Every structure is written in structure tokens, then in C-alpha cells.
Amino acid sequence: MENNEIKSLKEEYKKIKKQLEDCERRYKTLTENIALGLYRRTAGPDGRMVMVNAAFTQIFRYNSTEELIESPITELYWDPSECIEFSAKLVADQQVIKQQLKMRRKDGTPIWASVTATVIRDTDGDPAFFDGVIEDITERKQAEAQAVLHQKQLLQADKMITLGILVSGIAHEINNPNQLYYPIQYH
């Protein structure tokens, strides 16, 4: 009877182990194949990255996730004081949704990111981690800036057209003064 129990426990163990491996494989596939940057970092403005996916590493142009994890979190922000502000807002509000932040790649080039994050608290209720999703929106921000510039140029062109019509009308009146002052002829 004891052998049957051991055999049954071994089979149950194998089944649970397989389920765990399947779950880990699905998690890894999800986090590594998604085009958005996923991260977990310790809470606070001086927090450290605990986990990032390949997309996160690529967004910031680091050579490896290990290299990125070893870097101070403030190096990712264009203005390091924004890291403090972002952390304080996140702790106060419990989450941020699509907050646009100017950030910095490893080589120092600026990027714009849309960040959605939430606070994970420990058993005492203190902030332990910030879990988040980051999307590189640099191209979108550049396109928006270009659209604003084009809108300003169109507005300026429209003003110039209006001014041209006005000036041509005045020039016409100056060149043809009799029609303006003497519209009726006497016989």
C-alpha cells in the first residue's frame, strides 16, 4: 500500500511539475514576444530594475538586460528629477496610465515613452515594486510636432493669401481712382 502511495505522489509531482513548466513557458513567451517593454523595479526614486523584457532593453538600446538592470534607474530619464516626480505620483495614485515621459537611451539620445505602471505593495502595505509597460512613442511625438509645424505654415500661408487679396484690391482702387470717386457721369 505504501508503494502505491509513493507512486501516486510521484505521478502527482510529475503532473504539477509539467503544469509549472508549461506556465513558465507561456509566461516567457508572452513577455519576450510582446513588442512593448515590460518591467518590474523596486519602488522609489532610487529603485533598481529587477526584471525587464527584451523589448524594454531594445527601446533603451542596451546590449543586454543584465547591463540595463545594473544601471541606475535615473539614467533612463532625460531629467533625473522626473524619476522622483514619477515615483511620488505613482505611489500617491497607485497607478499611472499612459503618462508621457521624456527619457534617455544608453547613448544619450532622447526618446518619448508612454508609461503605464502600478504599485505592488508588501504585506505591510508599503510600496515594494513598480510593475509597468512602456511604449516608445518617439515617432508619434515627432509626427505630432511635424503636424503642428505644418498647421502653423498653413495658417501663415492663409494669412499671406488674405493679405495678397487685400493688397491687390487696394492696388486696383489706387490704379482706377475714377471708379471709386466718380461712379456717375453727367451729360
Task: Kindly report the CATH number assigned to the domain that includes residue 67.
Answer: 3.30.450.20
Kindly tell me if the per-residue pLDDT of 71 is higher than 80. Answer: yes
Residues 153 and 130 in one domain: no
Q: Do 100 and 147 share a domain, yes or no?
A: no
64 contacts 49 by C-beta, under 8 angstroms: no
Burial of 71 (0-12, 13-18, 19+ CB in 10 A): middle
Residues 129 and 147 in one domain: no
The pLDDT of residue 55? 93
What cell does 166 get? Answer: 487685400
Lowest mean pLDDT among 31-45, 69-83, 113-127: 31-45
Residue 111 main-chain phi, psi, to 5 deg? -140, 160
Cα-only R_g, the chain: 32
Quote the CA–CA distance of 187 and 185 in Å, as a whole number. 7
Q: Do 80 and 119 have their domain in common?
A: yes
Q: Is 48 helix (H, G, I), strand (E, B) or coil?
A: coil
Range of the domain at 148: 143-181
Question: With contact defined as beta carbons under 8 Å apart, do 118 and 95 qualify?
Answer: yes
The pLDDT tens digits for 110-157 are: 999 999 999 999 999 999 999 999 999 988 887 777 777 778 877 787
Residue 165 CB neighbour total at 10 angstroms: 10
pTM of the model: 0.67
**130, part of any domain:** yes
Domain count, the chain: 2
Q: Which residue has the higher pLDDT, 174 or 183?
A: 174
- Same domain? For 122 and 160 the reply is no
**Alpha carbons 87 and 120: distance in angstroms, whole number:** 13
- Residue 5 is assigned to a structural domain of this protein: no
Residues 112 and 165 in one domain: no
Q: Which of 3 and 184 is assigned the larger pLDDT?
A: 3
Task: Please give the Cα distance from 46 to 172 (Å, whole number).
Answer: 71
Per-residue pLDDT tens over the stretch 3-19: 788 888 888 888 888 88
Task: Assess whether 162 and 81 both reside in one domain.
Answer: no
Structural domain contains residue 78: yes
Q: Is 119 exposed, middle or buried (0-12, 13-18, 19+ CB in 10 A)?
A: buried
Is 1 a member of any domain? no
Q: Supply 115's cell numbers.
A: 508609461
Q: Is 3 part of a structural domain of the chain?
A: no
